[in-house]
A = this chain, B = another copy of it.
Amino acid sequence: VANPERQTRARNAGRGHGRPTLATVAAAAGVTAMTVSRFLRGGDGVAPATAARIGAALSSTGYTPNKHAGMLASGRSNIVAAIVPSIANSNFSITLQGLSHTLQHAGMELLLASTDYSLAREEQQLRAVLGWSPSGLVVTGCRHAPAARALMLKAQANGMPVLEMWDHNPRDKQFVQVGFSHAAVGRAMAQHLLQRGHRDLGYIDSGVAQDFRARQRANGFAAAARAAGVSCRLIVAPPIEAMAAGRAAFTALAQAGLPRALAFASDNLAAGALLCARGIGVQIPAQLALLGFGDQPVAAQLGLSTVGVAPYQIGAICGQRLLRMLAEGGARPGAIAADETQPSLSPPTLLQRDSS
């Protein structure tokens, strides 16, 4: 070849992203890239005079580190991937805020995906986020498509902390779980109403067909009612905005004849029903007891009894656990078991207010 240099330049046309690199900074500081890299990662073993020159070069070039390159070389990404059914659902958005706050303190980034309550989409999103080699993975719930579960297990086997949040299933603890049993909450809700002496119960479930956890609460509620020998009607709310759905479900039920006490899959459903009931002059709790789920602000305002579930804490604890697992060197099965100790999630609390 006549002119290899020229050919190389031609071959590399289109390469490079225009931003300054470590080499740019290094040239400006009169050192090699390696020294700049050391400086950036804490400055251990860099002479003060050199450090000063590097600092100057850094700001004069406006250098921004390329974290992809760093990841590729080091194998550590400092990305945590979180997968939730819906970002718009306030339970999950508050949880994400808790997770984000905790991760920010540790210099980790949050990669977010949502599934619209579909297991197929969850698997898809899982594949997508795993491509970024996250340092940790947080998924929602304990139910996953078989392939998704396999991916999670493989990731965990490779040392990636994998957490399941918003559910708790003692019979299937392959991953760290930060959540609570929805069936138990459903039972507790029924028990509360039974203790208040109500013998004719109703439950209005979420209209989101794929919301397993809501279904588990409904089932737990129904089972407890059945066990007490009490009648329990189960109604599924229409798949529209929750407050409007609560109103609609209540209206339908009122025409069929109201039970003595009604529990709901969410506070918003309950709030819609409560406002509707007040509107038509139903006395609460004298004629009808109401019980929500989630302890949203609206529940406190309406005097609605509910179940508090600490969504922010779920996210924050996921973050803390994840960081600790990372610090303790990966997610080997032994480490996971040890991790069960603390920090732990406050259990759901039944908050009795004026509606029951």
Distance of A106 Cα from B94 Cα, bound (Å):
27
Q: How far is the CA of A62 from the CA of B110 in the complex (A)?
A: 25
In the bound complex, residues from chain B placing their C-beta under 8 Å from that of A194 are: none
B298 near A298: Cβ-Cβ < 8 Å: yes
- Contact of B244 with A68 in the complex, beta carbons under 8 Å: no
Most buried by B among A89, A90, A112: A112
- List the B side residues contacting A104 at CB < 8 Å: 113-114, 125
- CB of B97 within 8 A of CB of A244, answer no
Q: Are the C-beta atoms of B127 and A241 separated by less than 8 Å?
A: no
On chain B, the residues within 8 Å of A67 by CB distance are 131-133
* Complex CA–CA separation, A110 to B247 (angstroms): 35
| Residue A128 interfacial (CB < 8 Å) | yes
Mask, A95-118, CB within 8 Å of B = 1, is 011001100100101111110000
A137 to chain B, nearest CB (A): 13
Within 8 Å CB of A302, what residues of B?
Answer: 275
Q: Across the two chains, which residue of chain B brings its CB closest to A110?
A: B112
Which of B87, B93, B100, B127 is the one whose CB lies under 8 Å from A113? B100
- How far, in whole Å, are A158 and B271 apart by their CA atoms in the complex? 50
Asked if B128 contacts A109 (CB within 8 A), the reply is yes
CA distance A18 to B160 in the complex (A): 12
Task: Contact check, B110 vs A111: say whether CB atoms are below 8 A apart.
Answer: yes
A-B contact pairs, 22 of them (CB 8 A): A15-B75, A16-B75, A64-B130, A64-B131, A65-B131, A66-B131, A67-B131, A68-B69, A68-B77, A72-B72, A87-B93, A87-B96, A87-B97, A87-B100, A90-B90, A93-B93, A97-B114, A104-B114, A109-B113, A243-B301, A244-B297, A247-B301
